[in-house]
Amino acid sequence: MDGKRCCAKLSVQPSRGLMDEQFTVLVQNVLPEFQLTVYAFHKCEGGYGWEAFAHYTANATGTVNVSEDPSLGGTYSGVEAMGLMWSLRPVPGSPQGLRMRKMDVQTPMLVMISVYQGHLTGGFVDQLPLAGVVVERWYMAPGVRRIPITEGGLTVTLFLPSGSGTFPGVLDMWGGGGRLIEYLASLLASHGIAALALDYLTPQITKETGKYVDDDYFPVNPRSDF
C-alpha cells in the first residue's frame, strides 16, 4: 500500500461547537488527484444511524478542503461547507418516516467524520477508513441556563443566555412530537435570546407533569370572529 495514501491526515475545526456553527473539514497528505469520500455518521438517541457522504478529488498538493472544494457527488454536490450536516439521512434499511430530533440538549450530538479511498456510495461499515475524527455539535452554549417549569398546568422549559440580560424573548411552540422539544429554544438562547419551549399538543401523558396535553391546555379565545 502506498505510504502517502495510508497516512492521510484528517482535521475538523472546531471539533466542538454549536449546531449551527460552521466547521472546516480538511484532508491532507494524500496523492494529487487522489479520489476519496468524506463520510459523516451520527447515531441518534433513538438508536438509528444517519449518514452523509461526498466525493472529492485531491488538488496538486494532495489536499481537500470541504469548505472550498466542490463535491462531485454523494448526498450533496458543489461547494457546501456544511453539506455533511444538512444532508444527513437515515442509513439504508432504517424505518420509514424517521426525523432527527435531539431529545437531551444537555449532551452533544456526536458525529464521526471519516475519509475513505475512492468514490463510495455505500457499504461504509464494511470498509476501513483512512482516517476518522469525532466532532461534538451542541445546542446549549456554555453558560446557558435551562430551567424546567411545571406550574399552573404548564409544561415549559425556559432557556436563558449567559449573563445578566436583559434579553429579547421568543415563545417556541413546537407540537405533535410526543414530548417537550427543546433544541430550537436552547439554540436561540445560545445566541442571546431568552426562549421558552412550550409543550404543545402532545397526544400522550408527559413525563414532566404526568398529564395529557391537548386543546384544553390553552384558553379559548372568546372572540367569535377570530
Strand order in the sheet with 156-160: 145-149, 156-160, 194-200, 169-175
Q: Are residues 53 and 84 in the same domain?
A: yes
* pTM summary value: 0.83
CA distances from 225 to 148, 221, 222 (A): 35, 10, 9
- The share of the chain scoring above pLDDT 90, in percent, equals 68
Q: What is the CATH number of the domain that holds 98?
A: 2.60.40.2240
Last residue of a domain, one of 78, 104, 138: 138
Mean pLDDT of 109-116: 97
Q: Are residues 78 and 154 in the same domain?
A: no
Q: What is the pLDDT of residues 123-170, one digit of tens each?
A: 999 999 999 999 999 999 999 999 998 776 677 899 999 988 789 999
Query: By the 8 A CB rule, do 149 and 180 touch?
Result: no
Q: What is the pLDDT of residues 42-74, one digit of tens each?
A: 999 989 999 999 999 999 999 999 999 999 999
Q: Are residues 104 and 22 in the same domain?
A: yes
Q: What is the pLDDT of residues 203-225, one digit of tens each?
A: 545 555 555 555 555 554 544 44
Question: Residue 37 has which C-alpha cell?
Answer: 469520500
Q: Is 223 inside any structural domain?
A: no
DSSP element (H, E) containing 83: helix 83-86
Rounded Cα–Cα distance for residues 88 and 104 (Å): 19
Query: By the 8 A CB rule, do 138 and 102 touch?
Result: no
Q: How do beta strands 194-200 and 169-175 pair?
A: parallel
Q: Are residues 80 and 177 in the same domain?
A: no
Q: Are residues 13 and 124 in the same domain?
A: yes
Domain that holds residue 178: 145-217
Mean pLDDT of 28-48: 95
Q: Are residues 133 and 155 in the same domain?
A: no
Q: Are residues 83 and 188 in the same domain?
A: no
